[in-house]
Structure 1
C-alpha cells in the first residue's frame, strides 16, 4: 500500500514529481554541465517561475544553496557586521540565533515560549541591530507570524535589513518583497521534493551590505557562496560551484505546476485544509490544538497535543498515513500534521476520519 505523508519534511512528494523526474532522466539533466547554455536556460526558467509564484521583483536575486540551514550562515556572514536581532519561539528560530552567535555576532533575542506567536506591537528592535531575523512558520511548534506584522515592523524600522525564514511554509506566505529584503526556503516541505536544495532570495540592499563588509580586513563574509559571488554569477544564470542541477530543474517544473493552479488558489486550498484540521481538533476530546491563539496558528504545520501520540502515529500508519511526532521534548505529548500543496482536501478528510476512530 502506498503511504500518504503528512510529515513536516521530508514530506509527501508533489503529484507531478515522478513525471518530471522521468523527463529529467530521459533528457539526462543530471549529467549536463553547469556552464552550459542548457543549464543557464534551466536556471532562468526556474527563476521566472519562482518570481511569478512568489511575486519577487527584479530588485531581488534568486540563488541556490545546499540547504536552507546553509542560508542561516550565509545571511549572517553577508549582512551583519556586529549585531543581529532574532525572534525566537521554537527550535528552528533558536537555531538561527545560535548560528549568529557561533559566527561571533552580538545576537539580540526576543523570546516567547513554544506555542506562542509574535505581533508587531510586541516588538522593539534594538537600536544597533543591523539584521532582523524572522521565522514565518516555526516547524517545531506550529506557530506562524502574519506577514502583515512583518511588513509593519519593516515600515517602523526601514533602515534595517529584514530576512524571513519560510522553510516550512513557502509558497504560502504572501510576502511583500518591496519590504522584505531577504527570504529563504528548502524544497523538501511545501514544494514536495526530496531534500537537497535551498533557495535564497536577497535584494540589492543585502548585496550592498555584503560588498561593504568585504572591504574590511577584520570581517569575513565567508569563503563559499558569498552574496557578491552568487550575484555576479547570477547575472548570466550561473553558479560559483556545481549546483544540484537536477533539483533546480525539478523545482522549476513544480513551481510551473503551482502557477498553473494559481497562487491564490493554492493559498485558499491551504487555508481550507487547515480549517478542516483545526475544527477537528477543536471538536475532539482526544486532541487539542497546541497553539491557542488562532491568529498565530500555522496553516502549513498543524500541531496537536494528545495523551498517546505513539498510538496515534501507529494507528495512522496502519491506514497508510504517516504523520509526524512532536519535536524534541514534545515528542511524547504531540503530533505534527503537515498541510502542504501535495496533499489534497480529500486526503486530509481521510486522515481526519482515521483520527476520529
Structure 2
C-alpha cells in the first residue's frame, strides 16, 4: 500500500510532498503531464516572481480569503526567501518590492528542489493521470494501462481551471462533487478584458501604455498594460481585474503626474485649428495613448486625458486567465485542509477557493497551502 500519495507536481503538490517526506512518510507524487512544474516554469519565463517583500499584515491583506491567514503567517515572504536560499538559489528584491531569484528563471530552482526531494526518497511518476475514485482507492491511467492505488493519505494539488494545456483543466471537479464536496463556480482572475476595437486601433496593437493611473471602484492603481487585438491585458489591468469582472467601470488618467489645471493650461496655449491628435501628441502622449483617446472619447474636450472612460466587453475566457477564483470551498475542508466528505484526502493550491493578485502572491499562496496540507496529512 502507498503510504502518502500526492497528485499534481506543481508548486503546491511538491511542497506537500516535501513536508510529508520530512515527517518520515514514503511519498509518491503522480503527475499527468510528461514533466513536472509546467505552469511554474511558464510563469518564470519572464522572470520568476516568488513573493512580495512586505509586512505580514499587508501581504495577507492582498488575498480575498482570510482563512489563508494562518498558512501565510507560517510561510510568508520571509520564509519563501529563506526557503529559496536553502535550495542554493539567492534572491533579490526589486524596486517594486517583488522578489526574484538571482537567476531570474524557474528552472534552476525547480532542478535544485527536485534533487532535494529525490534525496529525501520522494518518488515522482509522470504520465500518471488521475481518473477518479474506485471505491476506497484512486484510479490512474498511464501509458501501460490502469492502476488503482489505496494510499494511507492523499494530497490533491491539481490546480484550478486555467491553462489547461499545462495541466490545470479542472477535470477533478465532478469526482469531488459526487463525493459531496462543495466546489464554488470558477471565475477568471488576473485576466485581460475584451474590447470591440474599431479598425483604426490595429496600428497600435502590441504597444504598451506606460505610467497610467487606473481608477476602478473608488481606488487608484498605477500600472502598465498592453493594447492587443483581443483587448487590454497586462499587470495594470490584472491589478483591478477582480473589480472589473464584478462590473465596475474603468477610467484612465493618461497623465497622472500632471494636474488637470496644468493640462488645461497647456492645451490653451496651443494654436487653434490643430487636429486633436496633434494636440494630444504635443501634450506628450505616446501614439498608443493618443489612439485610446480617439477611440473612446473622440470629439470630447481633450482634458479627458485625465479621466478617460474605457468601454470593456467583458473578461477574456477562463482558460486564458493567469489564475482563477472558485474551487473547493472553505466549508468543505477542515482547518488542516482535509476534505470533510472524504477523510484522508487533503487539498491545496489553486484547487481551493481563494483569489490573489499577481506579484508573488499566487506562488506564495500555493506554497503556503501545500505546506499546510502536507503537514496536516503527515499527522
Scaled to the shorter chain, the TM-score interval is under 0.3
Greater percentage in strand: 2
Please tell me whether Structure 1 or Structure 2 has the larger radius of gyration of its CA atoms: 2
TM superposition score normalised by structure 2? 0.23
TM superposition score normalised by structure 1? 0.24
